[in-house]
Structure 1
Amino acid sequence: MNSIFGNIDDLYLFCQIIRDGSLLSACKSLGLPASTVSRRISAMEKRLNVRLLEKRGRELVATESGKRAYEQLISSMEQLESGIEQILQDSNEVFGNLKVTMPNNFYHGFVGDVISRFLEDYPKVKLEIILSQEQQIPTTDRDLLMTFDLTGLESFIARPLFTARHGFFASQSYLEKHGEIATIEALKQADWIAVDKVWNINLYREQSLEHTIAIRPKLVVNDIAAVITAVEQGIGVSSLPLRHTFGNKKLVEILPEYTRADRTAYLVYRERQHQPRALTLLVDALLKAARTIKYGTDAYHGGTKRN
């Protein structure tokens, strides 16, 4: 398809470079040689008499004119992609590139198995998985975020994935060295290990808020498996999801009558009229898998209880 600016594919190539973050990433996702893409972008810039991309280090980045052009073009390009995908959906084709961002423990907990089955069922879908505790706000129809924190995401679709209940845990060696933790004050003064920077913790008893304590973590590490290992090694105490502590004899549950506020994980994506079918199917698969997993109830506790 041609326009007065040349081949519409060249505009698509430009948008893909910005969306993927680099020329090489765009070439990889599109299956095109870097020399071809570079030549076509240069020719388009010459026709338009405007510099859209500039060299910065080893990468091409958008100029100010390029940023404005991308903002004006990306919505139209996504509509074209959605329209083509809609046509292919009529023939039951499922394809496309998806990007999924999630904490590391999500992937190893159950998502990895879902992803493996999904790719077997839909071999024409390509997935980019980013394991990170940091929020990566979805910027395209193909982005999916898994998160506990909906701050700044009010304009997006957020579907509950699962709800996790947390208890408080230490190792036997830590308790022998520092003494039993039998009061709220003792819990507050303990050496804390945290998975994030939420340092004001609400304590609930039978679903009622009774205390809020401010902690000063001795160690912050953004991976729940690493936090559990640190607790096992006697470095300190932590608030841990009950599902990840079940049957762990190296952990001792302290003040078991209290829990932290339940935390709900969400699937977050952009609200668009023509959502890619691949993303719809992946969301459905994740929700179905999450319903089969037990994340913690009143009777579900891990480790060893201390009364």
Structure 2
Amino acid sequence: MGEPPLADLEAFAAVARARSFRGAAQGRGASPSSLSEAVRRLEARLGLRLLNRTTRSVTPTEAGQRLLERLAPALGEVSAALEALDGLRGSPSGTLRLNVPGIVARVVLPRITGRFLARYPGIVLELTVEDSFVDVLAAGCDAGIRYDESIEKDMIAVPLGPRRQRYVLAAAPAYLAAHGAPGHPREVLAHRCIRHRFLSGTMLPWEFEREGQVVRVSPEGALRANSIELEIAAAADGLGLIYGFEEVLAPLLADGRLVPLLPEWWQSFPGPCLYYAGRRHMPAPLRAFMDLLREPESRWPGAPG
């Protein structure tokens, strides 16, 4: 039978990750028909169907999923080995694919991405923003950014962004005038609240801490949404209490549109980490990104001199 061509394996992995021939083609600068032909060749060579195709979706078969799980790390090694040669040509090039949560995309990455791309013009930064934890390799990413509690133990984690962050509780003056303010975290249950609901359906409890005492409450929520913009607007309009990242609510607290509540109970927690699988050959774009993170910000491109 012989070994399948590497290009056909790469084409299959791209389609399986994108769940679409068209989507995979856009990311590779190829045509959907050429990828379809590559997958057909691979299936014929292996004697197995790897993808279930309908007019509306493309999904891996059991055999296809098993191949993808084993193939993704191997293709990553090949890509990293080739990218490692970038150092011989000068500035690194290629694509750095990161999977990040919405809060990091909003408050941490904006000050980093511009400096990174200015430093390395040969690198394309591709961000996927989602709040659920993913297998970064299976998802076709080089690394992810998450908070400590959701990082698998076999991943290498590198601190990124603020080392401590806080959740803050707040409400609009109009809401407080009509309903009063809670005097204790448990009294939050008697108030209208604006809850953040993840796409998975999960709503995390609101956790407060004071002098070692932790209080967790799960209010029903007058509004449940997965849009931070909508949640902030609702809070500013006086629709209920909001509990969110301090960096996100800070502008509204500063101008008085929101009033801080129970500040002595605000809980702090470790900031996010960049995480990736331990591999012998790290992709050159990822190594360049980590090199920038290790430097003092005063040395970043565009920093005040």
Q: TM-score range by the shorter chain?
A: 0.7 to 0.9
**Residues 274-301 of structure 1 deviation map (CA, whole Å, 9 limit, x = unaligned):** 1112112224445669999xxxxxxxxx
Q: 2:78 aligns with which of 66, 77, 80?
A: 80
Per the alignment, in what secondary structure is the counterpart of residue 167 of structure 2? Answer: strand
Name the aligned partner's letter for residue 95 of structure 1.
Answer: S
Tell me what 1:18 maps to.
16
| Unmatched tracts of structure 1, length 5 or more | 293-307
Per the alignment, in what secondary structure is the counterpart of residue 262 of structure 1? Answer: strand
Tell me what 1:132 maps to.
130
Per the alignment, in what secondary structure is the counterpart of residue 222 of structure 2? Answer: strand
* Bigger proportion of residues as strand: 1
Name the aligned partner's letter for residue 114 of structure 1.
Answer: I
Q: 1:53 aligns with which of 37, 40, 51?
A: 51
Q: Structure 1 CA distance, aligned partners of 2:225 and 2:209?
A: 22
Give the CA deviation at 1:4: 2.4
Q: TM-score, normalised by structure 1?
A: 0.79
For the 8 Å contact 2:171–2:242, the answer to whether it is kept is yes
Give the CA deviation at 1:173: 0.7
Tell me what 1:99 maps to.
97
Per the alignment, in what secondary structure is the counterpart of residue 125 of structure 2? Answer: strand
Q: Structure 1 CA distance, aligned partners of 2:50 and 2:135?
A: 25
Relative to structure 1, the CA distance from residue 171 to residue 273 in structure 2 (aligned partners, 3 Å threshold; closer, same or farther) is same
Map 1:158-307 → 2, pairs under 5 A: 158-161=157-160, 162=162, 163-196=164-197, 197-204=203-210, 208-216=211-219, 217-246=221-250, 247-285=254-292
Tell me what 2:302 maps to.
none
Give the CA deviation at 1:30: 2.3
Give the CA deviation at 1:149: 5.6
Relative to structure 1, the CA distance from residue 91 to residue 69 in structure 2 (aligned partners, 3 Å threshold; closer, same or farther) is same
**Residues 5-56 of structure 1 deviation map (CA, whole Å, 9 limit, x = unaligned):** 4533222222232233322233222222222232233234334433333313
For the 8 Å contact 1:105–1:223, the answer to whether it is kept is no
Per the alignment, in what secondary structure is the counterpart of residue 30 of structure 2? Answer: coil
Give the CA deviation at 1:170: 1.2
**Residues 157-203 of structure 1 deviation map (CA, whole Å, 9 limit, x = unaligned):** 22232221233211111111012433444334222223352215232
Q: Structure 1 CA distance, aligned partners of 2:24 and 2:266?
A: 47
Per the alignment, in what secondary structure is the counterpart of residue 150 of structure 1? Answer: helix
Give the root-mean-square deviation of aligned CA atoms.
3.0
Q: TM-score, normalised by structure 2?
A: 0.80
Percent of paired sites with the same residue: 23
Relative to structure 1, the CA distance from residue 43 to residue 233 in structure 2 (aligned partners, 3 Å threshold; closer, same or farther) is same
Q: Structure 1 CA distance, aligned partners of 2:246 and 2:296?
A: 18
Per the alignment, in what secondary structure is the counterpart of residue 57 of structure 1? Answer: coil
For the 8 Å contact 1:102–1:146, the answer to whether it is kept is yes
Q: Structure 2 CA distance, aligned partners of 1:290 and 1:218?
A: 42
Name the aligned partner's letter for residue 255 of structure 2.
Answer: N
Q: Structure 1 CA distance, aligned partners of 2:6 and 2:159?
A: 39
Tell me what 2:110 maps to.
112
For the 8 Å contact 1:188–1:213, the answer to whether it is kept is no
For the 8 Å contact 1:191–1:235, the answer to whether it is kept is yes
Greater CA drift, 282-291 or 70-79: 282-291
For the 8 Å contact 2:81–2:283, the answer to whether it is kept is no
Length, aligned pairs only: 287
Give the CA deviation at 1:82: 1.6
Name the aligned partner's letter for residue 147 of structure 2.
Answer: F
Tell me what 1:42 maps to.
40
Tell me what 2:146 maps to.
147
